A and B are shown apart, each in its own frame.
Chain A
């Protein structure tokens, strides 16, 4: 096997080219009365991703006269993507993507846990997360095409994928980053990682120690910090104190537009602060 390690810019240009080459007429939007509420209408969206992967996303539109601010909920690490939270659905257009391999997007490829994080990791062109980022771009392009959204008030929320997606789609005005980061300075964190999912990399390298350099090269391409210069809007990094050393550079790179909130460890307070920040940035655009 030969290592193919493109530089950062050419690698992601290639991903964007793949997405741009997809047909633009493949989105199918189906109303889902079961997932509607008194204040919002729910839909299921079927999209086609790179490689022909069929992708599902939850889509919700508030009742009333738009256009509305919009949130792209980047998928987390796990098999299930929730229907978007009730409170968000009452105020915002919300798109919650199930990336390739997650439930509802698993016809051609079913993710394994553990296993998803290292599937193809020693070859960046074959790494499954290349396609997963492309899935996020396909979903955001769908969201940006909708007439019911206010294109000046679009945010992304989630983990690394929210940040990376915002870097590749400058139309996303603000980014809320929460939860454990999968790719931020991960190569340097491997030795200290004992818990999954990061421990998947350790498992892989224990079995294939000769692939260490290739794995580290791939991880470097996916480090969200590489996208910091491309993000135009405001950034909130909400993280645990134990994760602050490697998480806060994502906010600092945004200068005055970046904020860090160290979690209190009390979910009601932390989640409330995150939602208020989102409300603020989506109110002002």
Chain B
């Protein structure tokens, strides 16, 4: 797909009339679950300059969710906060590098990740299709709430400056970055979303043979009659339908040859982001790396530093 076609793509996602009601109901059900956050210091993973913690909290449906937390050691707070949200298959690593830059960082492991899979473990491939024909029990319902609640857990830390909290991630992490920014529009101060996944999802599956979207193609090859059911569910979950609520400064990077998350869907979601302060970084000759090794890692670092002021 050339650049003109990428830019010209129009999403077929529709916004259900009860979209807001569905997510208000989901949020209300989540709020009924006490957070019960615990932070256990990890001497083995701590260093002279970073304290590391094993974090647990309760989320939607009462599931216990894990995260890592790293904060600068031996320095006076408050610190700007950073929520790091994970990709589809990767296990979140301890975010010590960001803590060294001066952030108090929570790295979330939503349900299904290894440390959060006691109850919910659809596997990979698997998560994208877990109960996909039923919007009420679809796996991403709780998964989304786990990410949002991770932000709340971070914001509740006494050493975190609640006015300076950013969110960042790539791929599924890019999707979750936009989701959290949309559902906490008055509290997220800056967002960096790379190669965002889960945008125009049903369209994306028709443009690629790469996983995770290939899970949809695999399923529809054996169950072609279910395409309407999948579309109906995805209209409730598509990031395209959330981002009009984003208010914070936001950057998005996209690989123009991304075979995992088609760039056309990234352009489409970027257009809908509600923030007035937003910038798109398209990278030629890049795939799902989306320019991370071609200079964009520095762009993210400088963007976050300018908005959140670590060391200030």
Residue numbers of A with Cβ under 8 A of B are 33-35, 37, 78-80, 82-83, 85-87, 103-104, 110, 112-114, 194-197, 199, 203-204, 206-207, 240, 263-269, 271
Contact = CB atoms under 8 A, between A and B. Distances in A.
B302 interface: no
B89 A267 contact: no
Interface in B278-303: 283-289, 291, 293-295
Contacts of A197: 93
Contact of A267 (B43, B125, B222, B287): B287
Interface in B103-153: 114, 123-125
Given A266-B283, A267-B287, A80 B124 contact: yes
Nearest to B296: A265
B277 interface: no
Contacts of A203: 44-45
Contact of B286 (A37, A82, A204, A268): A268
B44 A265 contact: no
Contact of B284 (A80, A87, A266): A266
Interface string B68-105: 00000000000000000000011101101100100000
Contacts of A268: 255-257, 285-287
Contacts of B218: 34-35
Nearest to B294: A265
B45 A114 contact: yes
Contacts of B295: 265
Interface string B190-209: 00000000000000000001
Contacts of B100: 194
A33 B295 CA distance: 41
A277 B252 CA distance: 32
A113 B250 CA distance: 30
B211 interface: yes
Residue from A37, A112, A113 whose CB has the most chain B CB atoms within 10 Å? A113
